[in-house]
Amino acid sequence: MPNVIYCVTQTEVAEDITVWAQPYPLIFKDLQHTTIYITGNSKEELELKRKIIWNALRELIQSREGGFMNLTPGMKVSFLEMPQTSVTRVADVKKGGGFEYVGAIIPVESFPEAYREGIRISQKHDIGTYSFICRVVGRAHCMMFAWAYPFNRADPKSMERARQALQETNELALRMGGIPWKTEVPGQRLIMEMMDKNTLKLMKRIKELLDPNGIMNPGNWEGA
């Protein structure tokens, strides 16, 4: 997958690139998908960009390590939807209406480890499924990798399993050289433990200057 991302981004014609994986529906099971978005002011421009990307991935396709998926009109509507509601359907997989995720900024080359470890964590904590979605940042100097864990709000044990999976995933992201983005309080504590102490002191001074009464986003980053 890192090779796919690098081949596409070096063309500099892709508007956006996302990577995702999930076991349902079954046509997606055990596959890693890359969605490549292109835009143009004419059909000719779109076709030129399509050919450039196709040629960039030709060796991968010819080796049968990957290929382009033909989309039905209905599938195209789903992929072009804004916001893309199909991404949040994982929230009701447990039929209890809830999910949490770790969205970490990680090096692109860490994708294979992040993918394998995410599935392992889901199985270890009996999540029952897995769901990943990634977004390439810029020209692939890094990517946002989101591991999603559904739970049943009516089942305290299900929620606890999701919390444990989140904690282990935060630890994974930091171990890979990444950093969880907009993380919850336990994740914040992990980051602060690893952060340079002078950086923590600077954060505290800035917060005290901007928010002397402690009314902005209380409860977050309080260790700083």
Q: Residue holding tokens 């030129």?
A: 48
Mean pLDDT of 169-190: 94
pTM for the structure as a whole: 0.85
Question: Nearest 5 degrees, angle CA 16-CA 22-CA 24?
Answer: 125
* Angle of helix 2-9 versus helix 43-56 axis, rounded to 10: 140
Mean pLDDT of 85-104: 76
Distance CA 113, CA 175 (A): 11
Contact yes or no for 200/189 (Cβ under 8 A): no
Q: Is the pLDDT of residue 223 over 70?
A: no
Tokens of 11: 């063309």
- Residue 186's contacts (CB-CB under 8 Å, 6 or more residues apart) are 163, 166, 167, 170
pLDDT of residue 26: 81
pLDDT band at 87 (very low <50, low <70, confident <90, very high): low
- Cα dihedral 200→205→210→215 (10° resolution): 70
Q: Who wins on pLDDT, 48 or 88?
A: 48
pLDDT of residue 122: 95
pLDDT band at 201 (very low <50, low <70, confident <90, very high): very high
Q: Is the pLDDT of residue 159 over 60?
A: yes
Q: Is the pLDDT of residue 222 over 90?
A: no
Q: Who wins on pLDDT, 223 or 120?
A: 120
Distance CA 115, CA 109 (A): 11
Going by C-alpha positions, the residue among 107, 108, 93 that lies closest to residue 22 is 93
